[in-house]
Structure 1
Amino acid sequence: MNNNIVSENNIEDKVYSKSRWLILAILVTQPFMACLDSSIVNVALPTIGQKLSITMSSAEWIISSYLIIISAAILIFGRLGDMKGKCKVFLNGILMFVLGSLLCGISNSITTLVISRIIQAIGAAMVMSTNQGIITDIFPPNERGKALGISGSFVALGSILGPALGGLIITYLSWNYIFLINIPIGVVAYFFGRKHLPISKSTNNVSLDKYGALMFVISTIFIFSSIMLSQQLGFSNIYILSALIFGIIIFLLFLFIESKIKNPMLDLLLFKNRSFSINLFCAFIAFAALSTVNVIQPFYLSDILKFSPSEISLIMISYPAVLFIASPLSGSLSDKIGSKKLTLLGLLFTSISLFLISSLNEHSNKLTIVLVLCLLGLSNGLFQSPNTNLIMSSAPKNKLGIAGGTNALVRNLGLVFGVSISTSILYYRMSNVAGYRVLGTIPGRDDIFVYGMKGVYILAGIVCLIAFIFSLIDGVKSLKSQNN
């Protein structure tokens, strides 16, 4: 029985004390688990593909199914968090994530593994949609950047431990254990969460917009699944094209209906706030760019440079290691000098990092790779916490759940979009050179993979530069409005 039940209006008074740091410690376990799981899977993907006898394009569904379902479900749980209580949704999400991890761990085929990843993704959506809202709820503005920075550092910590643990598990144990490791962490987080989180007693009697929720889920699944399948079947395939058009039509219908009803699942009025919209756009671009590195780099290191799993783990650690240090420092600094300057600097450095990564080839050495990944880690460390602070601070208090859900959704859409588009561009460029459809590395033709990879990173760098310009214009306009 949880003794921390309070009314929605009194949560702020209850937690604006030293207990908020204990609550933060509980909250950061979720992004830690999610990033631990994600980084382990990224490193283990080549091994899983070999063990299950599947191609690179099939193995990508282990990542893509997870991201697609999170994107499809996260708005629903963000809305439910505002209606029923964010802490309740958060705790139930931990249980669902643990269940999904258990099922992933005992899977013995690509089909059962993808289904289990879907269950895991539902749990991840529940906690990701409420985590930022709870932090914003319990921390005053002068400490919010620091708190979000600490949360970001645990994201990095999960990413740091993931490759190392992944390398050890793949070397000495079965790949199944990369999922089972989530279970003890989740159980401990749930136990302390039940004891200390301020479970809100909601007085909101508004019902969920079920039709809007259904339309959003359908549109998200159809749009991104068709993009993924197009890699194998091509966009000219009538079924792929029909599914994509159907998904877009349903999404447009969703937006139209949401703009007309009284209590929508997605409050479109939030997007009338320029700061909210611009910073969401920048988050989408930054995470899409980041996912190009996450999905392509392990195959580059494994198949092109022929590094062992343990070597790949050590190299990939360099990015989150720097992020782990930079994120809380950036969050604390944003409380003092403002978040906008740091987001601009982070976007600019991200663009530079991607241009540098595009220069890697089949002869690149470990030190060069580590240095460019460190710069990418610094760039994202500067960007993520201040960007989240700008988004959440521009949302009304009674809409923090849906604002946090929207922020998490946009970031995950960026990850899904980045995986889908980057691999599509990679295969397209490789196929043009090879003269036939390519869905993976070609033995003896490392130069073709490097050619495809270079194009992906250059395009990602250009898009990040465009986001930097948009954010700079927004900053100038905000400064002018303040002076007036």
Structure 2
Amino acid sequence: MNMAPKTFADDPRIQKRRWWILVAVCLFTFMSTLDASIVNIALPVMSTDLRIPMNQAEWIVSIYLIVICSLLLLFGKLGDTRGKIRIFKIGSVLFILGSLLCGFSVGLPLLLVARSVQAVGAAMTMATSNGIITEVFPFNERGRALGTIGSFVALGSIAGPGIGGLILAHLSWGYIFWINVPVGIVAFMVGQRILPRDITLTHASVDIAGASLFAVMMVSLFAAVFMGQEIGFNRPIIWGLFVVGIVTMVSFIRLELRVSDPILALHLFKNTRFSVSVLCAFLIFVVNFFFNVIAPFYLENARGMAANYAGYALMTFPIVQVVVAPIAGSISDKIGPELLTFMGLILIAISQVGYMLTTLATPLWLFMFFIGLVGLGNGIFMAPNNSIVMSSVPVKDLGVAGGVNALARELGMVIGISVATTVLFAAMSRAAKRQVTAYLPAHPAIFITGMHVAFLVSLSICLVATIITGWRLLKHATQA
């Protein structure tokens, strides 16, 4: 009588299909991250079509991010207790359904509901994808596989404006959502055939109180940030939301330290490999979204480049990362990830210096070189860093680890956008000696001044991550 394999890595049938499993997971990873960025470029058209002001239209983007961040930890934990593949499949269906509903221009309320359904599905797939791949792939291929997922995350995060612009040039805005439906159905059908049944289940109770507190904390803090940018941060309602967020944060941490099966296993952060890697991932996503916010202003407004050509130029970043990340992952499988993460951060820091020194007279080929350099640095950094995160926790906590890693990414994106716009316009206001909240066509030099200050801030954030990672590398070398 044959014993059933105890892990996916021991099952020869699953190992034959492991790369197809990666394809199915990567497709949903790409679509769920793409839909955080693709909508921005369509907001003016959607605002006109739905007859709503621009500040209301921006909630179509905001609600997606808020729902995802509120639910990532819950679905990470449910992946550990009820099965990561089961949660991933349910999330795939919800994401496809939400995408289908989003495309109908019935009105803002229905669109926000549909967008929330889409976000719930995206959170389910984001929280479980890294855990599934970590379980399926043997240790000596894990870095390459996680690097491939990281490539699709990067591609989805930054390709939105380019892909969205191409769709809007020929079709109505609904197709930026409907494009997910056929791709999602194909990926789901492939997944149904090749994804195995879950075998790693803890059946532990789920900390509903903790999940609820975390959701209230995320909604309060994000609503405060988004509304504060819209109406100003000196309003009582904004301060009230920040107070609610901070109080629920304290309550959440106290609860998680008491319960036997917390939604966030805080003990994982005692592992310095895990906590340092998650922190550095968060910091680098903040840095990356400084670039995402400011680079389009520089290329389109300051340099007068057409939007489609600016989109092609910005695609240099994810294309380089897509090529480099699996290679870096393969190398990290052979030599270890610590040195590669440090090298990647050095390259990202150099690119920030390049942006900081860029002027209106800088040759475009040189600016493109710095875009490629940040893509190279991210490709070298992300795959080994993800490998450290997912390899430093026991199998029973892979769902939570994947949820925390995805949460760090999404928080980095939101905070990066918020801080970049705040710093950019504050520096421009100081240079103009008046309040500035948009690009000033008659004064491109004022924008360049603001851009230099913003990239000085992003360089400082990158250097913090580089120093922490360098300390870890030194510590690892002395212990070896």
TM-score by length of 1: 0.91
| Change in CA separation of 1:160 and 1:195 when aligned onto 2, cut-off 3 Å | same
Q: What does residue 13 of structure 1 align with?
A: 10
Looking at structure 2, the residues matched to 438 and 47 of structure 1 have their Cα atoms a distance apart, in angstroms, of 25
- Higher mean alpha-carbon deviation, 214-223 vs 31-40, is at 31-40
Matched position secondary structure for 2:436 = coil
Aligned match of 2:67 = 69
Residue in 1 aligned with 2:88? 90
Residue by residue over 1:106-136, the C-alpha shift from the partner in whole angstroms, topping out at 9 and shown as x without a partner, is 2466665444433322211100100000111
* In structure 2, C-alpha distance between the alignment counterparts of 1:117 and 1:103, rounded to whole Å: 8
Instruction: Flag the 1:109–1:458 CA change in 2: closer, same or farther, 3 A.
Output: farther
Distance in 2, matches of 1:469 and 1:214, equals: 36
Asked if the contact 2:256–2:265 (Cα under 8 Å) also holds between the matched residues in 1, the reply is yes
**2:341: which partner in 1?**
343
Which secondary structure does the structure 2 equivalent of 1:17 belong to? helix
Distance 2:92 2:4 in 1: 23
Q: Is the 8 A contact 2:50 2:105 kept in 1?
A: no
CA contact (8 A) 1:69 1:118 kept: yes
Give the aligned partner of residue 97 of structure 2.
99
Q: Is the 8 A contact 2:32 2:126 kept in 1?
A: no
Q: Which residue of 2 aligns with 1:446?
A: 444
Aligned counterpart, 1:432: 430
The answer to whether the 8 Å contact 1:327/1:381 transfers is yes
Contact 1:57 1:439 in 2 (8 A): no
Check the 8 A contact 2:14/2:196 in 1, yes or no.
Answer: no
In 1, distance between residues paired with 2:46 and 2:293? Answer: 14
Separation in 1, partners of 2:291, 2:126: 22
Please say if residues 43 and 298 of structure 1, whose CA atoms lie closer than 8 Å, have aligned partners that are also in contact: no
> How many residues align structurally?
477
Aligned to 1:3: none
Shift of 1:296: 3.0
2:373 maps to which residue? 375
Gapped regions of structure 1 (runs ≥ 5): 1-5
2:38 partner SS: helix
With over 3 angstroms needed to count, the CA separation of the structure-2 counterparts of 1:457 and 1:108, relative to structure 1, is: farther
Q: Give CA deviations for 1:382-418 in whole Å, capped at 9, x if unaligned.
A: 1110000011110111110111111111111111111
Quick one: distance in 1 between partners of 2:5 and 2:244? Answer: 40
Question: How far apart, CA to CA, are the structure 2 residues paired with 1:52 and 1:438?
Answer: 28
Q: Taking structure 1 as reference, are residues 162 and 246 closer, same or farther at Cα in structure 2, changes over 3 Å only?
A: closer
Matched, 1:228 2:226: yes
Q: SS of the residue aligned with 2:172?
A: coil
In the alignment, is residue 326 of structure 1 matched against residue 332 of structure 2?
no
What SS does the aligned partner of 2:404 have? helix
Secondary structure of the residue aligned to 1:28 is helix
Residue 156 of structure 1 and its aligned partner are, at CA, apart by 4.5
Residues of 1 paired with 2:447 and 2:101: CA distance? 34
Do 2:83 and 2:201's aligned partners in 1 also have CA atoms closer than 8 Å? no
Percent identical among aligned pairs is 40
Deviation at residue 436 of structure 1 after TM alignment:
4.5
1:178 positional shift: 1.7
Letter in 1 for 2:267: L
Q: Which residue number in structure 2 is paired with residue 409 of structure 1?
A: 407
Cα pair 2:80 2:201 within 8 Å, conserved = no
Instruction: Confirm whether residue 210 of structure 1 aligns to residue 211 of structure 2.
Output: no
Q: Output the amino acid matched with 1:81.
A: G
Q: 1:44–1:175: 8 Å Cα contact kept in structure 2?
A: yes
Q: For residues 403 and 236 of structure 1, what CA distance do their matches in structure 2 show?
A: 37
The answer (yes or no) to whether the contact 1:100–1:117 under 8 Å persists in 2 is: yes
Q: Give the drift of 1:378.
A: 0.4
What is aligned with 1:252?
Answer: 250
Q: Which moved more, 1:162-171 or 1:226-235?
A: 162-171
- TM-superposition CA deviations, 1:166-215 (whole Å, max 9, x none): 33222222233222111111111111112211122665432211110000
Deviates more, 1:78-87 or 1:27-36: 27-36
Q: Give the drift of 1:146.
A: 1.3
Q: State the shift of 1:238 in Å.
A: 1.9
The question of 1:356 aligning with 2:361 is answered no
* Aligned counterparts of 1:60 and 1:337: Cα–Cα separation in 2: 45
> SS of the residue aligned with 1:207?
coil
Correspondence for 1:40: 38
1:313 is aligned to 311
Q: Secondary structure at the match of 1:312?
A: helix
Q: 1:237 is matched with which residue? A: 235
Give, in whole Å, the separation in 1 of the partners of 2:357 and 2:56: 28
Distance 1:456 1:115, change over 3 A: farther
For residues 413 and 138 of structure 1, what CA distance do their matches in structure 2 show? 27
Aligned partner of residue 390 in structure 1, secondary structure: helix
Distance 2:88 2:329 in 1: 23
Paired residue type of 1:170: L
Q: Which string of whole-angstrom CA distances, capped at 9 and with x for unpartnered residues, describes residues 17-47 of structure 1?
A: 2221221121111122234434533555566
CA distance in 2, matches of 1:108, 1:28: 31
| CA positional deviation for 1:444 | 2.3
Equivalent position SS for 1:200: coil
Does the Cα contact within 8 Å between 2:15 and 2:137 map onto a contact in 1? no
Match of 1:176, as an amino acid? G
Q: Is the partner of 1:395 in helix, strand or coil?
A: coil
Q: CA deviation at 1:240?
A: 1.0
- Structure 2 unaligned regions, length at least 5: none
SS at match of 1:265: coil
Residue 215 of structure 1 contacts residue 251 of structure 1 at CA under 8 Å; is this kept in 2? yes
Distance of aligned partners of 1:454 and 1:122 in 2 relative to their CA distance in 1, 3 Å threshold = farther
Once the two structures are overlaid, the 10-residue window that deviates more, 350-359 or 100-109, is 100-109
